[in-house]
Amino acid sequence: MTIDQNYRRLTLVTAALIYTLIVVGAVVRVTESGLGCPDWPLCHGGLVPPPEQTAVIEFAHRLVAGVAGLFIILTAFVAWRDYRRARWIVGPATLVIALVPVQYVLGAVVVATELQPLAVVIHLGTALFIFGGALVLAVAARRPAAPERWPSRAATWLCSASRLSGCSSC
């Protein structure tokens, strides 16, 4: 099965947006803007942040998360609609979209616990798994033909996670 060029581009854009979201999250952390919006999902009780640097930075993170989330939904929808028989496409797309609501809840927990370190680490770790899944999907969409045998899902995800952490054993 050949994957459409537009879908290949969509997987790349989605992965790039997720990467951008992680970078913006790092900016939030470095600038100590994590509580710039002390409530969730609103910001200081409103839809728009007040004109304070920390609130704007934190709100930018939420906006990028919203856009990335929409692209993840679109990527998964197209995978299910057009490539439902291609497990190497539908599998990673489904796993990524399944982690998105978990990640949004973790973001709320980070705010509610006032940046408790364990919550922050779990939030970042989940973001890296989402990014890893998006990268697996982007690579899978570029395969010239259906793979004869895809590595086990667990091995694929463990290798993705280990590579993101800097380990090169896979």
Is 58 annotated in the active site?
yes
> In the chain, where are the structural domains located?
5-164
Q: Is the peptide bond before 41 cis (omega within 30 degrees of 0)?
A: yes
Q: Rg of the Cα trace of the chain?
A: 17
Amino acid, single-letter form, for residue 9 = R
Residue whose pair of structure tokens reads 């609501």 in the numeric block: 101
Mean pLDDT by groups of 10 residues along the chain of 170 residues? 91 97 95 90 91 95 96 97 92 96 93 92 95 95 65 59 57
Cα–Cα distance, 109 to 123 (Å, whole number): 9
Beta-bridge partner residues of 43: 46
Nearest to 18 by CA among 128, 102, 108, 125: 128
Q: Per the residue annotation, which of 32, 58, 114, 148 is the catalytic one? A: 58
Token representation of residue 124? 């970042």
Cα–Cα distance, 18 to 61 (Å, whole number): 11
Q: What is the DSSP string of 66-88?
A: HHHHHHHHHHHHHHHHH-TT-HH
Q: What is the pLDDT of residue 41?
A: 83
Torsion of CA 56, 61, 67, 68, to 10 degrees: 170
Helix (H, G, I), strand (E, B) or coil at 3: coil
User: How is residue 65 annotated by DSSP?
Assistant: H
Q: What is the pLDDT of residue 159?
A: 61
